[in-house]
Structure 1
Amino acid sequence: MRIRAAVIEQKGAPFTIEQLELDAPRANEVLVRIVAVGICQTDIHMQHQEYPVPFPIVLGHEASGIVENVGPGVSDIKPGDKVVLSFPSCGHCSPCLSGSAAYCLHAYELCFGGQRLDGSNALHRLSTKGEKETVHGHFFCQSSFAAYSIALESNVVKVPDDAPLELLGPLGCGFQTGAGAIFNSLRVQVNSSIAVFGVGAVGLAAIMAAKAAGASKIIAIDIEDKRLTLASELGATHTINSKRESSSEQIKSIVPIGLDYVLELTARPEMLKLAVDVLAPKGTAALIGGAPLGTEASIDMNQLLNGRTVRGIIQGDAVPRLFIPKLIDLYQAGRFPFDRLIRFYDFAEINEAIEDIKKGQTIKAVLKVSTPLSPLRPW
């Protein structure tokens, strides 16, 4: 079938909307008409090859849509289902079998390989000579900067028919990661204290979740006053602009004995060191932000002796089919108002949306690709 898709041709190039050919779903695959898709910082990292992916490629991994067709062997998803696409996993390795699919041993190939694990690809285009050319797809097993996407049944999450489908895509990655860090990874306790270093989309999701979890001191740290103001509105009890004041001194004045938890999202080595330094005994510092490959951070080893923990988090340790419905329930109950972070753009405005993210004018850009009531059909 012929579809529209946003293609990146080379490192740092803008996205271009092209007509591509998409093959039918194979065994255990699902064809989804994309209603909306969020833009994640990971997409921008890939655009600039901060982590290597093959070009040309269709990115996108925070999609919501409606199932159009399913391949052989698909049993839990059917045409007409409203769905969110999340991260993939192989389902067979030790982490997957132990309930930790976010740490799948094949995650890198599944997310960033630009093809199926067997080396095949569902996306193609015709060259000027009329020859069939591969365009790399299957990014996070979805490549959802497109009108239609091929996903695995295992990374498709059915959502309620009355859920606001256009809003839900970012639950598949960014919002799931921030909220999951609070609920699943750290298991933040009632009356505990937490600081969030960096309050973009993931950090603000963590702020909202920390409030929902009952934390009594929630400290937001950033260099943008507008984001800090929003963090206060969404649940932060204290804010610190680290450009103007000492984060360390301010944290110690708020929680003299140290923090129970710190989430570090800036991916700056000095901030990870600070995260450990401001922990209370037996506190936990968790890294979510993705630093360039090879980045190292210096930590005072003695700081770890009083039971302090440093750990990394991928995808909020979530099981998407269980966790995304929980987030939707929290949203519908008014306890996780993630819609306040979203700004919509037309699909063709993808480059404008990315520039607005880089300038700090938009926290979470969501591209409207089609609508639930007016299906976008192939040519």
Structure 2
Amino acid sequence: MTTSSRAVVLEAFGEPLQMHTYDVPAPKDMAALVRVGFAGVCGTDVHLQAGRLSIPTPVVLGHEAVGRIDALGAGLTHDVLGAPLAEGDWVSWLNNIACGRCYYCLVEGRPTLCTGSRRIYGINQRADEWPHVSGGWSDYIYLQPGTVLVKLPEVASPQEAISLGCAGPTAVHGALDEVRIRPGDTVVVQGSGPVGMAAAMYAELAGARHVVVVGGPAARLETAARLGVGQAHVDIFETTDPAERARIVRAETRRGEGADVVVEATGVPAAVAEAIDLVRPDGQVSVVGQYTDHGPTPINPHLITRKNLTISGSWGFGARHYIGYVSSLPQLLDRFDLAALVTEYPLEQAESAVADVKAGSVLKAVLRIGGR
């Protein structure tokens, strides 16, 4: 029986990641111990290492992962959808546990805005406190009681399930919950990273007639085109003038008026003003990409009023978004080669994976830890 686990630890902001070894805990009641198979590397991990988000350190990174159940605590017999669980099952899990008691959890039904003790795997769980292995960049992860645990659909391989990481449920929230995409709509997605790609995929599943992906670099847009993600692709590095980009994008829309829905998934503040310019009168804008604070940007509020726009913010994702993502994997796989998004790295190369994500040289970096 394995008694120790390697784990990649962020000890201090701006410093190289460290490999530590921790004792593997036995699961208590309603908890689970999972042998991690694959763990995603997200843009948020780049921000965490750089110190752009206030989190406790040291921390085992990794807020997106899939793995096999190694041991189940007493009372944990089924996943959140009622499927029976057993050792060896491939599972994934919601990366946060909201407090369930604050105003936003109980009254507003918005657990992503939880103001209580919201626990997030791989982000705010200290590695120097029990159970230590509370992040996915580890041989094992301890899933605490209250975790939304989901058995993977048989049609989805672990690599396919992790291919969109937290981008999948983020897109379910931002592109399906906060705005309404109707069959026949024209949708513009700003951003060609994992969140933008996922948003474009879900726009198509929702029945959009025409999806325009505005992003870059060219290799990402070529991947999107090859996988059938979007019908038109506009390279921001090739067309650097926002006015010219707007002209090109509007030419892809009905009557040249603009998109029915624009999903901003760039993280660049100026893209929000551009989204307002790209959407048609009485259209909808979902601002998903501003996860870290890159500062203010000028906008023309007159356009919001004159166009009668609906603009929504979308912060993170909750249980229904995560379940929606996992449940939709069969439909996504019917249309898109999700595994083609992935570049794999061994756990020992986590630092290189983060660097490649920061450089934008890969679309989705994934640490292969346990594999199949």
Q: Please give the TM-score of this superposition, normalised by the length of structure 2.
A: 0.85
Q: Does 2:229 align with 1:235?
A: yes
Matching residue of 1:157? 150
CA contact (8 A) 2:283 2:308 kept: yes
Residue identity matched to 2:251: S
Aligned letter for 2:130? N
One-letter amino acid of the counterpart of residue 311, structure 2: V
Compared CA separation, residues 239 and 294, structure 1 to 2 (3 A): closer
Q: Find the counterpart in structure 1 of residue 175 from structure 2.
A: 182
Question: Matched residue pairs, number?
Answer: 352
Shift of 1:60: 0.1
Structure 2, unpaired ranges of 5+:
80-84
Percent sequence identity is: 25
Look up the match of 1:69: 71
Residues 1-379 of structure 1 aligned to structure 2 (within 5 Å): 1-77=3-79, 78-80=85-87, 81-88=89-96, 89-97=98-106, 99-106=109-116, 110=120, 112-115=123-126, 121-123=130-132, 138=134, 143-152=135-144, 153-161=146-154, 163-233=156-226, 234-245=228-239, 246-255=244-253, 256-293=256-293, 295-305=295-305, 306-315=307-316, 319-320=320-321, 322-332=323-333, 334-372=334-372
Deviation at 1:363, TM superposition (A): 0.5
Once the two structures are superposed, residues 323-363 of structure 1 have per-residue CA deviations (whole angstroms, 9 ceiling, x without a partner) of 1332222134x224322211122221212222222232211
Maintained 8 Å contact 1:157/1:321: no
Cα-to-partner distance string for 1:231-274 (whole Å, 9 max, x where unaligned): 22323222212233232222233232121111112222211111
What amino acid sits opposite 2:257 in the alignment?
I
Of 189-198 and 159-168, the range deviating more from structure 2: 159-168
Closer, same or farther: CA 337–314 of 1 in aligned 2, 3 Å: farther
Deviations 1:92-114 (A, max 9, x none): 44444465433333375546432
Shift of 1:56: 1.9
What letter matches 1:249 in structure 2? R
Tell me the distance in 2 between the aligned counterparts of 1:347 and 1:192. Answer: 42
Conserved 8 A contact 2:184-2:207: yes
**Distance of 1:314 and 1:107 partners within structure 2:** 17
Structure 1 unmatched ranges of 5 or more: 124-136, 373-379
Query: Could you say what secondary structure the match of 2:230 adopts?
Result: coil
1:322–1:293 CA distance, 2 compared to 1 (3 A): closer
Provide the rounded CA distance (Å) in 2 between the counterparts of 1:26 and 1:296.
46
